[in-house]
Chains A and B, each alone.
Chain A
Amino acid sequence: MAKDVKPTRKNLMAIEDRIELSERGHDTLEQKRDGLIMEFMDILDQAQDVRSDMAEDYERAQDKLNKARAMEGDVAVRGAAAALKEHPEITTQSKNIMGVVVPQIESSKVRKNLDERGYGLLGSSARIDEAADAYEELLETIILAAEVETAMKKMLEEIETTKRRVNALEFTLLPQLYENQEYIEQKLEEQEREEIFRLKKIKAKKEEEEAKAEAEAEAAESETVSAD
């Protein structure tokens, strides 16, 4: 509230400094927000592609698994899955996109050769291989989707935060500072006007008193001359 600010020249200077800083911050945050939105749009395109790939891969993997379960039996498929020794692993690192720390997920042992899946080749069939292949592909897409979607979520959170900051500066802080600046300027101008008016008054009074004193002096002088 402008009324809470003391209308002093020092405060005006402080407010002007804050306005300058806030305007600079506002411009920088606006640029950051626009940059983040551009990066976000790129990631969004990528995420949409990965999502659609994931849906396709899931359909395909489920179809292959259903066919393997139908033709080989649930027991054979579960048995082949149970023979797996080397389970897939993921490691996470981070990278920085315009100040936003997003995860980078590295996977290993997802794609396997025929001899790495644990089940014997002689007693299994291509249906089980193809179901395993399709699920390995799906898992890779899920890991990529996790990376892209987490990055997207983090970017979105950052965009929201930046947008809130820009809005806070644009619609709350800066208007308040401008109002304070205007208030102080007005008050200072008013004080200046009052001062000038007061000085004028004093000057007028002084002149009046001087004139009165002069008149009195003149009267006294004329009385002395007539007495002589």
Chain B
Amino acid sequence: MSLVGSSNPEYVVARVRARRGMLYSTEEYRKLTRMSPPEIARFMEESTYEAEINALGSRHGGVDLIEYALNANLAKQFEEILDWSEGELYDLIVRYLRKFDAGNVKTVIRGIYTDASREAIETDLIRAGEFDDRLIRRLLEAESIEAVVEILEGTIYGEPLAAAYEEYEETDVLVPLENAIDRAFYERLLGNLPRGEPVRQYEAFLKAEIDFRNADNALRLARSGAEIDPAEYFIDGGDLFDRDTLARLARDLDELVEYIADSDYADELGPALRELEVADSLIAFEHATDTALLNYGDKLGTRHPVSVTPVISYILAKEREVENIRAIARGKEAGLSAAEIEEDLVIT
């Protein structure tokens, strides 16, 4: 695991390909939707999740056991991918996986903010990013948000957090800190990308991710009617919006929907946008953006077989598997029917 050294996509792709074959199939999802949560846990115990289910079985039960086992398995697999990767490949992969670091930092500061115990915070961490165990331990030992900001000095979150800390002190709400963390992650996604066709494809995927995130946020702001400056929530780097366009469109929902419907994403998001006009919910739209991203991920996996793209494609597929199993288990816990659960799954 290192930024130095030459890139080693051949080795990582071979390992990842073997892992990809172990992902659950559509048929297995269908079986899972007809099982109860204990049966799902048992099914997972007989697959790649065996070690995590056994390790966590004494501490958690029911759907919580499933969710923590899924998170632990995801973290283990992504950590291994980062361990195998070197050089440019590592840099490309870690860009995307830093979202777990961002999530962990937010979990730690939310934990400190609500006086949660160290154990409770640690349980909720998903160690799938760039942070090593030592840094995470230091974060867990921090007794104040100020200490967290100091510990993160030197990471990509250091400066933005330090800048947002003043606003946090004034308002005593976490919004500026959380936005600074997420913005730091998104701004590093596209910076200094190397050349080459596989990377261009990866870049297109990352841009789609940013575009969808901007579109989601603009729709949320337009729907809420709150007096919030949309430009504050603009993430630079996508193709769909620039700051001014987003700021203008987020004030008029109809114009925003029309703008997205006329964009390059019309095919992927068109049906969801039409639904948006009649439904009082953005969930269908978010579901459509998730499906579109997964389709991008699948395309990434086939065009350049020995490059970063199959690795990213696997990471996306694995994330989706975890989300789907969690959705099935939580849906079952809530008493939803198999048909209702299948509606929420994102399967390509």
A interface residue numbers (CB < 8 A to B): 62-63, 66-67, 69-71, 73-76, 78-79, 82-83, 85, 113-116, 118-123, 125-127, 129-130
Q: Provide the B255-286 mask, 1 if CB < 8 A to any CB of A, else 0.
A: 00000000000000000000000000111011
Residue contact A75 to B344, C-beta cutoff 8 Å: no
Known: A67-B344, A122-B186, A126-B282. Is A75-B224 also a contact (CB below 8 A)?
no
- Distance from B21 Cβ to chain A, minimum over Cβ atoms (Å): 26
Interface window among B9-17, B211-219, B294-302: B211-219
- A125: which B residues are within 8 A, CB to CB? 216, 286
In the bound assembly, the distance between CA atoms of A130 and B173 in angstroms comes to: 20
Given contacts A83-B178, A119-B178, A127-B283, 17 further A-B contacts (CB under 8 A): A71-B326, A74-B64, A79-B107, A82-B110, A118-B173, A118-B174, A120-B177, A121-B220, A121-B221, A121-B228, A122-B179, A122-B183, A122-B235, A123-B181, A123-B182, A126-B219, A129-B282
Q: Which of B34-42, B200-208, B328-336 contacts A (4 or more CB under 8 A)?
A: B328-336
Assembled-state Cα–Cα distance A98/B102 (Å): 60
Asked if B110 and A115 make an inter-chain contact with CB atoms under 8 angstroms apart, the answer reads: no
Bound: A75/B70 CA distance, A:
12
Contact with A along B121-132 (1 / 0, CB 8 A): 000101000000
> B173's closest neighbor in chain A, by CB?
A85
Q: Is the CB of B173 within 8 A of A113?
A: no
Q: Given that A74-B64, A85-B172 are known contacts, is A130 also in contact with B281, CB under 8 Å in the complex?
A: yes
Given A79-B110, A113-B224, A115-B226, A120 and B179 touching (CB < 8 A)?
Answer: yes
Per-residue CB proximity of B180-192 to A under 8 Å, as 1/0? Answer: 0111001000000
Q: Is the Cβ of A73 less than 8 Å from the Cβ of B326?
A: yes
Residue of A nearest to B70 (CB): A73
Minimum C-beta distance from A53 to chain B (A): 16
Q: Which residue of B lies closest to A86 (CB)?
A: B173
> How many A-B residue pairs lie within 8 Å, measured between CB atoms?
122
The secondary structure that dominates the B interface is: helix
Most chain A CB inside 10 Å of its own CB: which residue of B110, B113, B116, B333: B110
Q: State the Cβ distance, B36 to closest chain A Cβ, in Å.
A: 15
The answer for the CA separation of A163 and B228 in the assembled complex, in Å, is 57
Indicate if the CB atoms of B113 and A129 lie closer than 8 Å: no
CB-based contact B107/A114 at 8 Å: no
A71/B110 in contact, CB under 8 A: no
- Which of A75, A123, A129 lies in contact with B178, CB distance below 8 A? A123
A70 engages B327 (CB within 8 Å):
yes
Q: B175–A119 contact, CB under 8 A?
A: yes
Given A120-B182, A129-B220, A75 and B124 contact (CB-CB distance below 8 Å): yes
Interface contact B175-A126, CB-CB below 8 Å = no
> Given A66-B331, A79-B124, is A126 in contact with B285 using a C-beta cutoff of 8 Å?
yes
CB neighbours of B213 from chain A (8 A)? 122
Q: Are A118 and B344 in contact (CB under 8 A)?
A: no
Complex Cα distance A114/B334, Å?
Answer: 26
